[in-house]
Amino acid sequence: MLTAILAFFQAIPAITGGINNFVSKYFDSKVQITVARYGCDAGVAKALVTGIVAEGQTRVDFLKVASQSWFLMLILGGFAFPIIAFMTKVVVWDTMLGWGSTPEIKGEVATWVNIVITGIFGSTSVLGVGAMYFSKR
């Protein structure tokens, strides 16, 4: 048992090195995909990918803060509950069971739904701005 524990501790640097190598290769592949997709140079693609990661981290930090406050969770849940109920009805009642047909969301309400979903779950605005810039170029 002690030998297994010591072997595990000796393997930790190799495991960490493997994880770092994977993350580095993953980042490089994301940069190459961005270069191919938008036709920009590697420096700009690295900045775009880094911006997307930073945006995702900001979203995660926001959700951590919101999850620690019952008031913020009540607000988020209050905005999300009608949309969740609608989607559940469409998927379970209409699609899976085939017992009805729900009309689609249109007009101002559709705009509000998009704003709420984007606000809660986020969007890739850094990638969107980069795509707009490079598509106009």
- Over residues 11-45, the pLDDT tens digits come to 778 888 888 888 888 888 888 988 888 888 888 88
Handedness of CA 87, 92, 93, 96 (dihedral sign): positive
Host domain of residue 43 = 2-136
Predicted model pTM: 0.50
Q: What is the pLDDT of residues 84-127, one digit of tens each?
A: 888 888 888 888 888 888 888 888 888 888 887 777 766 656 55
Q: What is the pLDDT of residues 52-76, one digit of tens each?
A: 888 778 877 877 887 888 888 888 8
Helices assigned H by DSSP within 68-122? 70-88, 107-121
Question: What is the total count of domains within the chain?
Answer: 1
Q: What is the pLDDT of residue 130?
A: 62
